[in-house]
Amino acid sequence: MRKAGKTMSTQAGILKVIHAVADIPNDPAPNESLFDSGTLDSFTLPDLVTGLEQEFDVKIPDADLVPERFDTVTKIEAYLDSRKS
């Protein structure tokens, strides 16, 4: 039960950051491409990463600033899980 709550709060945190950097009315679907849909672009990616670092207390190295890593909510969640040690 705790793990399910953690996943939901991770997704909620990701969506919070996405809404802070992108002017979108609704939450994107978990597997919707944030770049193909126009939600994010190369200019908003650094803002997204900064927001994720603050929201989740992680450090994301510049080498990881590639759109493919942050293309969907699901990919962002997997990436954040891999950064937690």
Map out the domains of the chain as residue ranges.
2-83
Tokens of 76: 């962002």
- Tell me the residue type at 1: M
How does pLDDT run across 10-58, given as a tens digit for each residue? 999 999 999 999 999 999 999 999 999 999 999 999 999 999 999 999 9
Nearest residue to 33 (alpha-carbon basis) of 81, 65, 76: 76
Nearest residue to 26 (alpha-carbon basis) of 15, 35, 17, 36: 15
Question: Is residue 1 very low, low, confident or very high in pLDDT (cuts 50, 70, 90)?
Answer: very low
What is the value of pTM for the model shown? 0.87
Superfamily for the 2-83 domain: ACP-like (1.10.1200.10)
Q: Which of 10-49 are b and which e, b meaning 16 or more Cβ less than 10 Å from the residue's Cβ? A: bbebbbebbbebbeeeeebeeeeebbeeebbeeebbeebb
pLDDT of residue 25: 93
